[in-house]
Amino acid sequence: MYFWGESLNNSWHVATILRYVLNLNMTFLVNSAAHIWGYKPYDKNIKPVQNLTVSLVVFGEGFHNYHHVFPWDYRTSELGNGPLNLTAKFIDFFAWIGWAYDLKTAPEDLIESRASRTGDGTNLWGWGDEDQSTEEKANAKILYSRNYGN
């Protein structure tokens, strides 16, 4: 307020309310567009889709078909740690400093095998879900593992 000569009212609405509304709209964009327009390379029987436009706008969160097929993969997309996947870069930073660990990721052969057998209709919700096959669990890579002797 002091340095820009803004009123308290204007400062509050721009710094707080506008930011909140924009964040909500980006969330709604992901939850709408990433379930409507796009393609379904991993499971054609579920609503979530891959939407590059949404991913560009919200820094990688538009790869919803992958996310719903592999919800336990921290990368949120098959792009690994590419430039569109800021979520993975953010989590990798915290793994690097030791605040995140046991990061699970689907290896490429598992991704390819799942893509080749699309149409099974399963919608996994997370690591250890009852629909997750033992093959998927066995083939998952766990990065920055913190083993407590188990």
Q: How far apart are CA 44 and CA 14, in angstroms?
A: 42
Q: How far apart are CA 100 and CA 122, in angstroms?
A: 28
Tell me the domain boundaries of the chain: 34-143
pLDDT tens column, 73-110: 998 887 766 666 788 888 999 999 999 999 999 988 88
Is there a contact between 30 and 54 (Cβ–Cβ < 8 Å)? yes
What pLDDT is attached to residue 35? 87
Question: What is the pTM for the complete model shown?
Answer: 0.65
